[in-house]
Amino acid sequence: MLVGCERPDPETAVFVTPGATNQPPPTPILTPFTGSAPLPPTPEPGPAIAIARPTYFGTPTPDSPHETAVASNGGGSTTTTHTVGAGETLGYIAQLYGATVEELLTLNQLDNSNLLSVGQVLLVPTSASQVGPDFKIIPDSELVYGPAAAGFDVRQFVTLFDSYLLRYEETVENQQLAGPEIVALVAHRFSLNPRLLLAALEFRAGWVSKPVGVVEQYPMGYVGTNQPGLYGQLGWAANELNLGFYGRSEGGLNAFTLADGTRLGFAPTINHGTAAVQKWLGAHDGAAYATWLQEAGPDGFWATYNRLFGNPFAYTVDPLWPVDLRQPNLQLPWSSDETWYYTGGPHGGWAAGSAWAALDFAPPSDQLGCVQSESWVTAMADGIVTRSDFGAVVVDLDLPGQPADGFAGTGWAITYMHLETRDRIAAGTPVQTGDRLGHPSCEGGFSNGTHLHVARTYNGRWVAADGAVAFNMAGWLSQGLGSEYDGLLVRGTISREACVCRDEINAIKP
C-alpha cells in the first residue's frame, strides 16, 4: 500500500455530493439577550469578560419540506437492495441507510459481519417506525465553522466559568493540550462551530460550567469506541454531527436507528443542522426513544445551548452557499517540474462523516510508507495562512477578486494536510500561487504513506470534490466513481485514475 488517510470508519462512513442554495450570506446581527438565563459566574481571580447572548425574533430557517422516510405501517415496501462495493463493510453500509449492523444481520440472515463479497446484494431498510419532531434546534450556520463563528475564542469563553475544561489535559499526537485547545483543534479539523461543540460537551458532561469532570474517560456518553478521553470522544461526536448534516443534505440520509431499535425518520420540515444534532443525540450508548424525544425538544439540548450562548438562530447566516457558487482558479499544489501521483479519489474532508471533499497525492519517490520527502507542497492560489499545526496548513482565499480577511470560515479556504513540521510555513504568512508551504509527510491524523491530502471549504462547509462545484486544479477535474477513494482526474482527453501506486495510470504532470 502506498498511501492512505482518514479511511472511512465502518461505523460512520457515508457517501455525499454537494448541493447549493441562493443569495450571498448576510452578516448576522446579534442583539443582547434579554431572557431569564443567568450570566455565568466570573472566576476569581481574573477580569470579567462580557457575554453577549443574542435573542431572536423570527422563523428559524424556513425552507421547503425535505424527503423523509415512510413509516413502516404506511404500506408498501420497507426495504430496498444495496450491491456491495469494494472495501465496504456492514458498518459502512448501515450508515449509508441510517441503520445498524444488527438490523442488516437480521434482514439478510447473516451471522458474520466480516463476510461480504463485492457484488453481493443486501436488503437494507428504507422505512421508519417513527418520524422525529419538527422542532428546529440550530441553523445550518451554527453547525459549520463559518462566518457566524468569526472571533469566537474557546479559551476566553470557558474562563468565564469555574470550568473543568481549564483543568483537563491530554496528549494528542505527541503534544500536550489543555481542554480548550482540544475543543478548538476538533472544531478546526472537522470544520464544526466551536460553540456547538462546547454546548454538546456541556449537555453530556457539564464540563463547561462545572469544576468537576463527569465520566472523564467517556464524557460524550459513547463507550463503544476505542478512543476514550476528550479528543477521541469529541471527535466521535463531531463525526456524528457531520454525518447527520452532510448525509441529510447531500447523501440521501433520511432515517437512523437508536440503540433501543427505534427507527426514526427526520421530519420533512427540519433543516439539516437540526438533523445533524438529532442524529448525534441518538448515537450514544443506550439511547432510547423517550429520552431522545426530550433531548431533541426545547427542554433538551436547545436549552443548554440557549443558556450558554443565547438563541442559536440569532447567529443565522443563510444561505451558506450562493446559487452561483464557483471555485476560484486553482493550480496544482506542487512544482511544475515534478510529476506527482493521484492516490486517493474523493473522500472525507476530515474523517468519514464530512463531505467527500478531499483528494490525495503522493510525491515522486522510490520508497514506500512514511518516508521523509524533499518535495514541496505549494500554494494553489493567493491567500493568508490561518493555521499551521498538527500537520495542517489552512490558507484563506475568500472570494475571487477580494483579498483574504485571515479567517478561513468566510469564503473559500484550502486545507493542505500531512505537512511535515520541518520547513512548514508559519500561520499569518501571506502567500502567492506557487509559494512553498511545506513537505508532504504522514504528520497529522492517520496516514500510512507520505502524501498530501487537500480539501476545499466555502463558508466553513466542506465542498465535495466530485459534486456540482467539482475540484478543478489547472484544468484537472475531479470525477467520483461512486465509492470513497475511487475517482478520476480528467483534463481534456487525458484521464488518470486514483490508485495506491506510482504508475502512468495515476501520474499527474503539470
Q: What is the tens place of the pLDDT at every residue in 421-447?
A: 999 999 999 999 999 999 999 999 989
What is the per-residue pLDDT for 35? 30
What is the per-residue pLDDT for 8? 37
Q: Are 158 and 422 in contact (CB under 8 A)?
A: no
What is the per-residue pLDDT for 13? 31
Pairwise pLDDT comparison (78 vs 302), residue with the higher score? 302
Q: Assess whether pLDDT exceeds 60 at residue 24.
A: no
- Percent of the chain whose predicted confidence (pLDDT) is above 70: 83
Q: What b/e string do you get for 208-240 counting C-beta neighbours within 10 Å, with b at 16 or more?
A: bbeeebeeeebbbbbeeeeebbbbbbbbbbbbb
- Split at pLDDT 50, 70, 90, the class of 81 is confident
* Cα–Cα distance measured from residue 84 to residue 75, given in angstroms and rounded to the nearest whole number: 27
What is the per-residue pLDDT for 401? 67
Weakest-pLDDT range from 210-219, 396-405, 473-482: 396-405
Question: What mean pLDDT do residues 439-467 have?
Answer: 96
* Cα–Cα distance measured from residue 210 to residue 172, given in angstroms and rounded to the nearest whole number: 23
* Cα–Cα distance measured from residue 271 to residue 249, given in angstroms and rounded to the nearest whole number: 9
Q: Around Cβ 52, how many Cβ atoms within 10 Å?
A: 11
- Split at pLDDT 50, 70, 90, the class of 86 is low
Question: What mean pLDDT do residues 452-470 have?
Answer: 96
The DSSP letter of residue 187 is H
pLDDT in tens, 105-155: 777 778 765 578 777 888 777 667 788 999 999 999 999 999 999 999 999
Q: Assess whether pLDDT exceeds 80 at residue 36.
A: no
pTM: 0.85
pLDDT in tens, 269-326: 999 999 999 999 998 877 899 999 999 999 999 999 999 999 999 999 988 999 999 9
- Closest among 358, 366, 372 to 441, alpha carbons compared: 372
Q: Cell digits for 184?
A: 478548538
Residues 6 or more apart whose CB falls under 8 angstroms from that of 212 comprise 164
- Tell me the β-bridge partners of 447: 5
What is the per-residue pLDDT for 338? 96
Residue at 410: amino acid letter:
T
Whose grid coordinates read 483543534? 185
Weakest-pLDDT range from 17-26, 55-64, 383-392, 395-404: 17-26
* Cα–Cα distance measured from residue 105 to residue 90, given in angstroms and rounded to the nearest whole number: 8
Q: Assess whether pLDDT exceeds 50 at residue 480.
A: yes
What is the per-residue pLDDT for 313? 95
List strands edge to edge, sheet with 263-265.
130-131, 263-265, 255-257
CA angle 409, 319, 254 (to 5 degrees): 100
Q: Assess whether pLDDT exceeds 80 at residue 336.
A: yes
Strands 130-131 and 263-265: parallel
Question: What mean pLDDT do residues 176-184 have?
Answer: 98
Weakest-pLDDT range from 95-104, 156-165, 326-335, 482-491: 95-104
Q: Cell digits for 57?
A: 425574533
What is the per-residue pLDDT for 82? 74
Residues 6 or more apart whose CB falls under 8 angstroms from that of 44 comprise none
* Cα–Cα distance measured from residue 338 to residue 472, given in angstroms and rounded to the nearest whole number: 19
Residues 6 or more apart whose CB falls under 8 angstroms from that of 260 comprise 286, 287, 288, 289
Q: Assess whether pLDDT exceeds 60 at residue 407.
A: yes
Question: What mean pLDDT do residues 247-268 have?
Answer: 88
Q: Assess whether pLDDT exceeds 90 at residue 183.
A: yes
Instruction: Work out the widest C-alpha separation in the chain, in whole angstroms.
Output: 68
Cα dist. 410→23, 128, 137, 396 in Å?
A: 15, 37, 23, 8
Strands 412-417 and 452-458: antiparallel
Task: Please report the DSSP string for 282-312 in residue order.
Answer: TTSTT--HHHHHHHTSTTTHHHHHHHHHS-G
Q: Assess whether pLDDT exceeds 60 at residue 18.
A: no
3-state SS, one letter per residue, for 374-422: CCCEECCCCEEEEEEECCEEEEEEECCCCCCCCCCCCCEEEEEECECCC
* Cα–Cα distance measured from residue 191 to residue 410, given in angstroms and rounded to the nearest whole number: 12
Pairwise pLDDT comparison (399 vs 43), residue with the higher score? 399
Residue at 461: amino acid letter:
R
Cα dist. 86→44, 119, 260 in Å?
A: 58, 8, 31
Distance from chain centroid for Cα 283: 16
Fold of 340-508: Glucose Permease (Domain IIA) (2.70.70)
Cα dist. 143→190, 343, 392 in Å?
A: 10, 30, 21
The overall average pLDDT reported for the chain is: 85
- Split at pLDDT 50, 70, 90, the class of 31 is very low
pLDDT in tens, 55-76: 787 777 777 888 776 665 544 4
- Split at pLDDT 50, 70, 90, the class of 14 is very low
Query: What CATH number does the domain located at 79-125 have?
Result: 3.10.350.10
